[in-house]
Structure 1
Amino acid sequence: MVKRRVMSGPFARPRAHSRRLLGIGVVGLVALAGCGAPEASQAAAPGEAPAPISSCGRDVTLEAAPTRILVHREMSTLVAAAGGADRIVARAGEAGVPLGPYADALADVPQLNETDMTAPDREVVLGEQADLVVAGRVQADYLDALEQVGVPAVVPPWFCSQVAPGNDDAASVGFDALYATIEEYGRAFGTEDVATGTVDELRERVAAVEQEMSGAPPRTVVNAWLGRETVTSVYGALSINNTVLTALGLTNMFEDMEARNPTVSFEAILGKDPDLIVVSYLPSHGYTEEDAVRAFSETPGADQLAAVRNGRVVAMNSGYLAGGPLAVDGLEMLAQRLAALD
């Protein structure tokens, strides 16, 4: 485990060689360890610094509980679930991802870039006076560049495969990793009671769905990703999607692929011929739920699939299957849609 202690304050002077926008790259990446769920630690006593936050093989040490958090992608709901909604100063790169039950709490938080999903560069982070960045789907050089200017940044375990390629861990994408991360962030924020309450509720909801689906017959499924124009990939073993499908009693036909979102040909999907198809899509790509089902079903060759011929294709906004607390909402929504097919 690599322990990180950032320079004091978000306005520490940048090193001369690092004055560039994030995404261009920073020399000197650290070696990263595994990316499993964070270990439990004690909440800080009043006046004490919080325990380090585990972030993809790094221990990120905070000087104090953060009060100005900048969130990227789906991380706004994760921070809110841990009790930190009132600490968020800006939301970046959401591009219309759903906020679910946290919509009201986050409604007044400014969005920095509403039309794309890129992470905010260093100058933007410093301009927001952020004392913590919670990011999703970034690479190690992004975290390094923020560290160099004194801004701690963390990534939840289900996105560690992009920070530390080759350190994929199926345990990092399950519900247990979600619960542990919410509790860990709650300890760091000083909102442990809120985080614990959230986790208790999420556990109950997952257990209720699992109980409801326990008597369902065995069924196979493919969860396909619909890009802007065509189906481009599927969801494999290292995705929260696979966790959700398993909780529903379904067998993911691409579970043998040790990746989150591997690219496959449409012919590979035809070869699986699953009982059900779940199509993940983004509304920002111009799709509605009905559009996504139609786009998949009208793909050349799709009529060879029994699921298409039998009308057993459902669509899900991918924001509900992207990790974070909304994965439980996605679990419930998908259970309802599958029940409507029976």
Structure 2
Amino acid sequence: MSPYAMTRTLPEDATGAALRADVLHGLTGSPKTLPPKWFYDAHGSDLFDEITTLPEYYPTRAEREILVARATEIAAATGARTLVELGSGSSDKTRHLLDAFPELTTYIPVDVSESALRGAAKLLLAEHPALDIHALVADFTRALVLPTTPGPRLVAFLGGTIGNLLPEERAEFLTSVRGLLSPGDFFLLGTDLVKDEATLVAAYDDRAGVTAAFNKNVLTVVNRELDADFDLGAFDHVAVWDPEREWIEMRLRSTVAQTVKVPALDLAVNFAAGETLRTEVSAKFRREGVQAELAAAGLELVRWWPDSEGRFTLSLSSVPAA
């Protein structure tokens, strides 16, 4: 294998087609919704990077603490020679793992953004010139076909992103991950934990208003890509804790009665004053719940590493012995 290769499994217009489908489905549903993946154009990614540095937003710091403290232990427990990272983005956190895995030969970052994959690969190859990188331009929520690489494999899904999936979506996703694993392979999962409501809400509604700008950026994306006429000033950012479902919901609340036009979809959408548009669900977890969801997908929890304050955890699971 050459030091760097890229495989595209998404059609060239896959992103545009998915956006059109998601906006049509979400804005004609009840309640109205938009998926959180559309936050992340270049500006949205910059805003999220800023969010991760805010004092209220603990998940990134907590996960990095675990990675720094446990990377060597993760390497010893898995003996991985191939690391597969789902939703890899800039691969920033990956460095903590790459530096700790003495047997690692291959890294497979998976992301929908080809530019993010190329940028990350350039930096990683400068730091690890002997590493084989095979990037996949793909949607990790759909069935993946991985290149043939040395085992054991460690599939990593970091950042607590699994919390953005609804329960039925999580079940489908975890089952697909199980399908990528052979006996002796492992799955490393980042999950944000249930904690007091004030801490959770503050993490998604910071005093500086960065998360509010990030939330409204989804409207900017729809305006730009679908020629819509959302007035960002006519929507307020809202973050609420749902204690029954144990998740944070981010919403945009219409401040007035209004009609939004989306010409690319030949669509007019009426909003009542006070009506909300849900843009993100961020589920929080307990150990017993994570273990049960993994088991339902055919995976066995073997390690549980919380951060020092018990806010966030990395878990390691494997295919049970026959």
The alignment's TM-score, normalised by the length of structure 1, stands at 0.29
Q: Larger % of strand: which?
A: 2
Q: Which has the higher contact order (CA 8 A, sep 6+)?
A: 2
